[in-house]
Amino acid sequence: MSCRFLRRAAESPRHGGYPSKKTLALQIEHNRTSRGLQGLIFTRDDRAGEGKLSSRLGLVTDAVEAGPGLDLYGYVVGQLSRGGRVDYVIVDEAQFLLSGQIDQLARIVDDLELDVFAFGITTDFRTRLFPGSQRLIELADRLETLQVEAMCWCGARATHNARTVGGEMVVEGEQVVVGDVAQSAAEVGYEVLCRRHHRRRMTSAAARGAALSSDVLPVTAT
């Protein structure tokens, strides 16, 4: 799941899968820029590298890397104090922010009266809330599910994020490990699954392997 955050904006906060949230974040940036508005984009641990916001469609834009030591409110105030223009704020990978940084986003909305859009998945590969997502849910004025829903390999609605290594699901390890949804064989990757297949640890690779297994006897006509 992913979410989009705070207050006055006409576009609503959303939840969805990895590709959809990044594309929507970039779409909001494009729409507002085309109307003559100027914004700030914060991100964390994007696969395109530090200080980048990218989507699976190949779209990339510059962003500010929101490391754990960055005061988001202070950064925006600094931009305004130097004569810069900030009409809105977009935050990608908001689940990786500290709880205090989410409080700073709320302060940007309330004290500076700026629109803030935050995107991020809600739970980790163990189905536990990220601290940043938990605080976001507690403070957000609106939360909505993305209309473009992620789908499990079986065709059901995907609601859980699985971490994979070589296509096999793992349930132990650090909460944050940067990977991709299109990993090669031995790399850490992520796959969205329905709850049933997440509970069964049945990834798309595992399902293909089971279908091709010699343990499955062919059915012959008698």
User: What's the one-letter identity of residue 116?
Assistant: V
56-87 pLDDT tens trace: 555 677 889 999 999 999 999 999 999 999 99
CATH class label, 18-139: alpha beta
Q: What is the pLDDT of residue 182?
A: 52
Q: Which residue has the higher pLDDT, 206 or 26?
A: 206
3-state DSSP assignment of residue 96: helix
In the chain, at which residue ranges do the beta strands (DSSP E only) sit? 39-43, 52-54, 60-62, 64-65, 88-91, 115-118, 160-165, 168-170, 188-193
Q: Count CB-CB contacts under 10 A for residue 115.
A: 21
Radius of gyration (Cα) for the chain, nearest Å?
19
Yes or no: say if 52 and 62 are a contact pair by the CB < 8 Å rule.
yes
Cα distances from 91 to residues 42, 84, 157, 181, in angstroms, run 5, 19, 25, 20
Contact predicate 124/162, CB 8 Å: no
The residue behind tokens 């709320």 is 106
Is 11 a catalytic site residue? no
Q: Which of 11, 29, 93, 144 is catalytic?
A: 93
pTM of the model: 0.69
Tell me if 63 sits within 8 A of 43, measured CB to CB. yes
pLDDT at 17 over 80: no
Higher pLDDT, 7 or 141: 141
Domain coordinates in residue numbering, the chain: 18-139, 160-212
Measured distance CA(55)–CA(84) in Å, rounded: 27
Q: What is the pLDDT of residues 138-163, one digit of tens each?
A: 999 888 766 566 789 999 988 888 99
Which has more confidence, 182 or 194? Answer: 194
Q: What is the pLDDT of residue 206?
A: 87
Write the burial class of residue 112 (CB in 10 Å: 0-12 exposed, 13-18 middle, 19+ buried).
middle
Mean pLDDT, the chain, rounded, equals 79
CA gap 110, 90 in Å, rounded:
16
% of the chain residues with pLDDT over 90:
38
Pairing relation of β-strands 168-170 and 60-62?
unpaired
